[in-house]
Each structure stands twice: as C-alpha cells, then as structure tokens.
Amino acid sequence: MINCYGLCCLLLFLCGACSKSPVTDGEVPLPEPEPVDTRSTREKYSAAITAWPEAEWYSGIIKKELAELPANPNAKPNTEVLRLGKVLFFEKRMGSIQNSCSSCHNPAKFWTDGSRMAIGGGVRNTPTIENAWHLKGHLFHDGRAATYAEQITEAIESPIEMDGDLNIIPWILSQIPGYPPLFEAAYGSNSITRERILDALEVYTLSISSGETAFDRFVRGDYAALTDKEIEGLHLFRTKGKCINCHNGPFFTDLQYHNLGYAVDFRGDLDNGRYEVTGFEADKGKLRTPGLRNVSNTAPYWHNGEIATLEEVIDLLNRGMPHTGRQKINGTLSPHIRPLQLTSNEQRAILAFLNTLSSEVLKVESPTLPQ
C-alpha cells in the first residue's frame, strides 16, 4: 500500500508530467516569447541615443544615428581674415549685376533668399549655407564643386549671379581706398589677389553655423525639451516614416544623391542633376540630400522650389511621390521612395519633430563697406 506521503508525491509527479508537452529526441523546444516593452514612447527616448528603439533601415544603408550639432572647427579663425571675408560677402561691387553673396544668402532668412528660384538667377532654389563646413566635396545641389574655392568662384563669375571676373576684381578693390588696409591687416601686406579674396570668403562662409535646438538639448539629457507629440514624431522619423534612411547624422543628411522624381524646373525643362557632373546615366535626376536643421525656416522646398510647405513635403513622400500635373521623373526614381501609410496624425507628429530642429536666427549686422 502507498502511504499518504507517497500518494501526494505521485500525484504531484503526474500533474507535472501532464502540464508539459513531451519533447521527443531531436525536437527543438519553442522559444520563450519576447518580453513586451510597455514603456511609453517618452520613456523609451528619455535615455542615451544608443538606448533608443532600433531605427528602421532600408537594406544597404550606411547606418548613422541622429546626433546633436557638433562644434564648428572653423568658428574661431583668424579674426582679421574673418572680418575681411564678411565685408567681401556683402560687397556688391565685385560684379556688374550689383549682387553680393548676401543677396542670395541672407542671414535674416537663415542664409537663403526665401524665393522659389535664386534671386541671383538660375533654375534652382537657393540652398542655405548654414553648416556648409561639413559639405566637403558636395557643394551645390548636384555636388559639382569639390572645393569651396570652386563654389565661390562659380558664384562670383556666373553671368546670372554676380557676373564678376576674378582676374579683374583685385584691381577693382585696389581702387577703393578702404580695401588695401583690410588686406594688410588680414594677410600682412596690402596686396589684393584672387587667392586672398577666395580665402577670406571661404573663412567667413565656413564660420557660419546653425544654433542650438530643442532637439540638441533633448539628446544632451534635457528630456523636457520635447513634448510628447514631438517625441512621437522623432520615433516615426526613425521608424515608420523611414526618414532617417536619408536624413541621418548630426546634420540630418547622408550627403548622398537621390532621385525624388520632381525633375521639372520652372521653365518646363528636366533637371539632369548629378548626371551633369558625372555623366553616368544612373545619376540622372539625382540631387544631394539637404540637411534638415532649420528646415522649418527655409521654405520653399525641393531643388526647384516647387513645394511651398513642409506639410506638402511630408504628404508627397508619404504617398510615394505621385507625379501629377507637369512634374515627372527624369531617370530612375529612388528605391527609397515608396508609400508609407502614415496617418494624418502621424504626419503632423513628424512635422512637430522637424520644428524642433529650428534655432534662433543669427543676428548679423551688415558691415560698413570700404569707400
């Protein structure tokens, strides 16, 4: 006979055996279910960037996480060269059109001109020169200038921008009594040369940075800097919206060239984009990804100034860049462009996040030009 103690042990054994499915030889047991993260979106993002939820990356993308604005290594150059560069940046007497660099790159408009097409002429929208110091080798929308000297030279000598001649400009400036002392203070002699003009303008241009944003404060640990809606937009930017695939890193750009399909300029002609630089058919219609710092302040959008508001930009990208009316694809549309199925509330959240990338407008006093 089985005593009471033995009976209890037997019953416990039988119950335990019944509670589990037997595992036969060679059978792999089912994995334990992944724990569910019940934290709010705010809680998930109120941590170091490395602890944020995984971003949704397309295949083949070089993954570069978002980050705060780094210090500009060009922010404190030789002050006399900087002073000269600023004067030259505002100088209208270097060309026949009476335009200066500041005509298109107005500091009061976040270094753009706010126009659909560049005030100085051409068929493209004026890009901001904020944070241009990180664009090495990727200057202009199509990246055709590999150096800042090349970019500045083209702007000065373009017949539709400034219409100047850098072989003549040194003589023009030497005839203005106030200029030789500025060059002497900057370079140790009053000799005015093409190289010194380009150098001073480059020094000034590279000193221009955007300011601190609510996003920068947030990633540094001030987790009250963003609202719940803005944090939700940040999450969507990195996940369902897929924005991070092109707009990544501290400047929110991969510095790559993509074809978004809106290739028709204001004249009705197709813009060949990067193809004009490389001659490669695969580059037809591609243009450089713009950075998104102060994007809320630099309308209109697209290289052709075709889109008036950020709401329209987000809506078009959400719908996979539908081509209606006069707009069409030139070349092959980027494989990153696909319908995203974002709701209207999700689109508004992404817009709210983009607004957190704005900084205060830099107050720049126009210099007194030499006479």
C-alpha to C-alpha distances, 117 to 112, 114, 123, 124, 359, nearest whole angstrom: 11, 9, 6, 5, 24
What is the C-alpha to C-alpha distance for residues 301 and 112, in angstroms, rounded to an integer? 11
pLDDT per position as a tens digit, 346-355: 999 999 999 9
Q: What is the mean pLDDT of residues 253-279?
A: 94
What is the C-alpha to C-alpha distance for residues 207 and 366, in angstroms, rounded to an integer? 16
pLDDT per position as a tens digit, 7-60: 444 433 444 444 445 555 567 777 877 788 889 999 999 999 999 999 999 999
The torsion defined by the Cα of 97, 98, 101 and 107, in degrees rounded to 10, comes to -130
Residue whose C-alpha is closest to residue 274's, from 123, 132, 145: 145
Residue whose C-alpha is closest to residue 300's, from 108, 102, 107, 117: 117
**The predicted structure's pLDDT at residue 155:** 94
Which residues are annotated binding-site positions for heme c?
101, 104-105, 243, 246-247
Contacts of residue 222, Cβ cutoff 8 Å, sequence gap at least 6: none
**The predicted structure's pLDDT at residue 6:** 47
Beta bridge mates, 270: 264
Helices assigned H by DSSP within the chain: 4-19, 41-45, 79-89, 101-104, 148-157, 169-174, 179-187, 194-206, 214-219, 228-238, 275-278, 310-318, 344-355
What is the C-alpha to C-alpha distance for residues 108 and 359, in angstroms, rounded to an integer? 12
Tell if the pTM clears 0.85, that is, is over it: yes
Percentage above 70 pLDDT, the chain:
93
Output DSSP code: residue 122: S
pLDDT per position as a tens digit, 60-107: 999 999 999 999 999 877 799 999 999 999 999 999 999 999 999 999
What is the C-alpha to C-alpha distance for residues 371 and 366, in angstroms, rounded to an integer? 15
What single letter denotes the amino acid at residue 135?
Answer: L
Which residues are annotated binding-site positions?
101, 104-105, 243, 246-247
Residue whose C-alpha is closest to residue 165's, from 106, 173, 126, 82: 173
Q: Which domains does the chain have, with CATH numbers?
A: 43-69+211-355 (1.10.760.10), 79-206 (1.10.760.10)
Alpha-carbon torsion 111, 327, 261, 123, what sign?
Answer: negative
What is the C-alpha to C-alpha distance for residues 141 and 274, in angstroms, rounded to an integer? 8
